[in-house]
Structure 1
Amino acid sequence: MEKKFTPQGFGSAAVHAGHLQDPNYAHQTPIYASSTYVFDTAEQGMRRFAGEEEGYIYSRYGNPTIAEAERKITALETFGLDVQAKGILHASGMAAISTLLLSTLRAGDKILTHYSLYSGTDNVMRTILPHFGIEAITMDMQDLEKVEDVIQHDRHIKLLYLETPANPTIQIVDIEELTAIAKRYNLHVACDNTFATPYLQQPFRYGVDYIVHSTTKFLNGHGTAIGGILIGSDVERMKDHITKSHRILGGNGNPFDAFLLTQGIKTLELRMERHCSNAVKVADYLEKHPAVAKVNYEGLVSHPGYEVAKKQMRKPGAMLSFELKGGMEAGVDCMNRLQFCTRTVSLGTVDTLLCHPPSMTHFSVPKEQRERYGITDGLIRMNVGIENVEDILADLEQAIR
Structure 2
Amino acid sequence: MDKNFSLQGFGSASVHAGHHPEPLHAHQTPIYASSTFIFDTAEQGMKRFSGEEPGYIYSRWGNPTMTEAADRIAALETFGLDLEVMGILHASGMAAISTLLFSNLKAGDKVLSHFSLYGGSNEILFKILPELNIEPIIVDLRKLDEVEDVLKKNRDIKLMYLETPANPTIQCVDIEELSKLGKKYNLIVACDNTFATPYLQQPFKYDVDFVVHSTTKFLNGHGTAIGGVLIGRDIEFMKTKATKVHRLLGGNSNGFDAFLLIQGIKTLEIRMDRHCSNAMEVAKYLESHNSIEKVNYSGLTSHPDHKVALKQMRHPGAMLSFELKSGIQGGIDFMNKLKMCVRTVSLGTVDTLLSHPASMTHYSVPKEQRERYGITDGLIRMNVGIENLQDILADLAQAL
Instruction: Specify the SS of the correspondent of 1:100.
Output: helix
Amino acid paired to 1:212: V
How far is the alpha carbon of 1:29 from its aligned partner?
1.1
Aligned to 1:97: 97
Partner of 1:175: 175
Q: Structure 2 regions of 5+ residues with no counterpart?
A: none
Q: What's 2:391 paired with?
A: 391
Instruction: For residue 141 of structure 1, report the CA deviation from its aligned partner.
Output: 1.1
Q: How does 1:3-18 map to 2 (within 5 A)?
A: 3-18=3-18
The C-alpha deviation readout for 1:314-335, integer Å capped at 9, x for no partner, is 0110000000000001111110
Give 1:311 shift: 0.3
User: Match for residue 144 of structure 1?
Assistant: 144
Rounded to whole Å, the distance in 1 between the matches of 2:164 and 2:374 is 15
Q: How does 1:354-373 map to 2 (within 5 A)?
A: 354-373=354-373
In the aligned structure 1, how far is the partner of 2:172 from the partner of 2:385? Answer: 21
Letter in 1 for 2:148: E
- State the match for 2:63 in structure 1: 63
Instruction: Please tell me the residue identity of whatever aligns with 2:138.
Output: T
1:354–1:380 CA contact under 8 A, matched in 2: yes
Kept in 2, the 8 Å contact 1:2–1:21? The answer is no
**In the alignment, what sits opposite 2:191?**
191
**Matches of 2:43 and 2:132, distance apart in 1:** 40
SS of the residue corresponding to residue 176 of structure 1 reads helix
Q: Distance in 2 between matches of 1:29 and 1:307?
A: 41
Paired with 1:257 and 1:202, the residues of 2 have a C-alpha distance of 24
Aligned to 2:80: 80
Give the drift of 1:131.
1.1
Task: Map Cα deviations across residues 338-363 of structure 1 (whole Å, 9 max, x no partner).
Answer: 00101100000000000000011110
Q: Partner of 1:43: helix, strand, or coil?
A: helix
Q: Does 1:324 pair with 2:324?
A: yes
What is the 5 A alignment of 1:174-323?
174-323=174-323
Partner residue in 2 for 1:112:
112
For 1:243-298, what per-residue CA distance to the aligned partner results, in whole angstroms no more than 9, with x for missing partners? 01111111000110000000000000000000000000000000000000000000
**SS at 2:346 equivalent:** coil
Return the offset for 1:152: 1.2
Please state how far the C-alpha of 1:77 moved relative to its aligned partner.
0.2
Code of the residue aligned with 1:327 in structure 2: it is G
Determine the C-alpha separation between the residues in 2 that align with 1:114 and 1:210. 17
* Amino acid of the structure 2 residue aligned with 1:59: S
Paired residues in the alignment total 400
Q: How far apart in 2 are the matches of 1:159 and 1:3?
A: 36
Quote the Cα distance in structure 2 between the aligned partners of 1:239 and 1:10: 27
- Work out the CA distance in 1 between the residues paired with 2:355 and 2:218: 17
- Equivalents in 1 of 2:20, 2:161: separation in Å? 34
Q: 1:391, 1:171 → 2: CA distance? A: 28
C-alpha separation in 1, matches of 2:271 and 2:354: 18
| 2:82 partner letter | D
1:251 partner SS: coil
| Structure 1 residue 2 displacement after superposition | 4.8
- What do residues 187-226 of structure 1 show as CA deviations (whole Å, max 9, x unaligned)? 0000000000000000000000000000000000000000
**Corresponding residue for residue 46 of structure 2:** 46
TM-score w.r.t. structure 1 length? 0.99
Matched residue SS, 1:59: coil
Shift of 1:3: 3.9
CA–CA distance in 2 between the matches of 1:4 and 1:207?
A: 27
Residue 319 of structure 1 contacts residue 383 of structure 1 at CA under 8 Å; is this kept in 2? Answer: yes
Moved over 4 A (4+): none
What secondary structure is seen at the aligned counterpart in 1 of 2:289?
A: coil
Distance 2:253 2:4 in 1: 29
CA distance in 2, matches of 1:323, 1:153: 36
Identical residues among aligned pairs (%): 71
Structure 1 match to 2:26: 26
Q: C-alpha separation between the residues in 2 aligned to 1:355 and 1:248?
A: 34
Letter in 2 for 1:303: H
- Counterpart CA distance in 1 for 2:67 and 2:141 is 36
Q: How far did 1:83 drift?
A: 1.2
CA contact (8 A) 1:191 1:208 kept: yes
Distance in 2 of aligned mates of 1:142 and 1:200? 20
Q: Secondary structure at the match of 1:173?
A: coil
Alpha-carbon displacement from aligned partner over 1:32-61 (angstroms, at most 9, x marks no partner): 000001111111111111111110011011
SS in 1 for 2:98: helix
Q: What is the CA distance between 1:79 and its match in structure 2? A: 0.3
Q: Which amino acid aligns with 2:100?
A: L
- Letter matched to residue 4 of structure 1: N
Name the TM-score, length of structure 2 as normaliser: 0.99
Residue identity matched to 1:399: A
Which residue identity lines up with residue 355 of structure 1 in the other structure? S
Deviations 1:149-178 (A, max 9, x none): 101111110000000000000001000001
Cα offsets for 1:125-155 (capped at 9, x unmatched): 0001111110100111111011011011111
Work out whether residues 296 and 303 of structure 1, in 8 Å CA contact, stay in contact via their aligned partners in 2.
yes
Contact map agreement 1:111 1:160 (CA 8 A) in 2 = yes
